């Protein structure tokens, strides 16, 4: 595990609270917080030879919990815990995510209000969002840099949503007249990119995965036996202290 201190310790502590981690029980799992660079795929293989997670993460058995578009940057959570993956990505969980978004133009209050209330996209109305103007965040230089048009200003917004539609934030800002030039995911749940350099990752313990009970270790194709007659004594269960 990476030695965590300062802002990274906050990531570790908040992650433990979010997942309800109960260390010492069952099989341990791993959480990776990766600050994904621009034009890197959120997967480990690519037939076309484009950059993937394999170019940055050398830990086996972890997979992305959700995705981050190739042309987006910032936080990508990976884990080897299937239950945690499901918890973070299932639509009903409504995991909150915050994005720092650089858009073309000087955003007005009407556009911000529309984004907050929800906008009508081709796949339906978006849920209410938390949107605010922010000063340019202290982030890394993008390679290549964004294309800025002469005499047209840009603005930075913080947009927090709890949905995960395809390219949703980009479509939302375009809908209100401000195309997205750069998109950085700052937060997923209670984890952030604080203290993680772009292209780097930190590893921390995840919630324990419960071991498979002996009663569930049946051979493939086997079936449960019918319930025992009432006269038959069933073995006592003993809860081992953990």
Query: At 169, is the secondary structure helix, strand, or coil?
Result: helix
Please state whether 7 falls in left (phi above 0), alpha (psi between -120 and 50) or beta: alpha
Q: Where are the alpha helices (DSSP H) in 129-226?
A: 168-175
> CA-CA distances (angstroms) from residue 222 to 24, 128, 215, 219?
32, 49, 12, 6
Residue 233 tokens read as 């004594």
Please work out, in degrees rounded to the nearest 5, the angle formed at the alpha carbon of residue 145 by the alpha carbons of 140 and 149. Answer: 130
Residues with active-site annotation: 69
Q: Give the dihedral of Cα atoms 65, 140, 138, 196; nearest 10 deg.
A: 40
């Amino acid at each position: 595990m990476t030695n965590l201190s300062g802002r990274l310790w906050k990531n570790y502590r908040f992650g433990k609270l979010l997942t309800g981690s109960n260390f010492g029980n069952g099989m341990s799992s791993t959480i990776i917080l990766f600050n994904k660079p621009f034009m890197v795929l959120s997967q480990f293989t690519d037939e076309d030879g484009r950059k993937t997670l394999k170019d940055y993460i050398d830990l086996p058995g972890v997979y992305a919990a959700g995705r981050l578009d190739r042309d987006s940057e910032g936080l990508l959570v990976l884990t080897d815990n299937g239950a945690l993956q499901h918890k973070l990505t299932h639509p009903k969980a409504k995991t909150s995510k915050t994005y720092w978004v650089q858009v073309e133009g000087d955003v007005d209050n009407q556009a911000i209000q529309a984004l907050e209330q929800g906008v009508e996209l081709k796949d339906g109305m978006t849920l209410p969002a938390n949107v605010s103007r922010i000063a340019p965040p202290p982030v890394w230089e993008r390679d290549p840099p964004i294309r800025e048009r002469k005499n047209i200003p840009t603005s930075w917004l913080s947009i927090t949503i709890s949905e995960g539609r395809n390219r949703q934030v980009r479509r939302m800002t375009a809908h209100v007249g401000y195309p997205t030039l750069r998109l950085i995911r700052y937060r997923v749940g209670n984890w952030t990119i604080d203290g993680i350099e772009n292209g780097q990752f930190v590893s921390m313990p995840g919630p324990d995965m419960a071991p498979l009970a002996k009663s569930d270790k049946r051979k493939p194709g086997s079936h449960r036996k019918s319930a025992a007659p009432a006269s038959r004594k069933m073995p006592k269960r003993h809860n081992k202290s953990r």
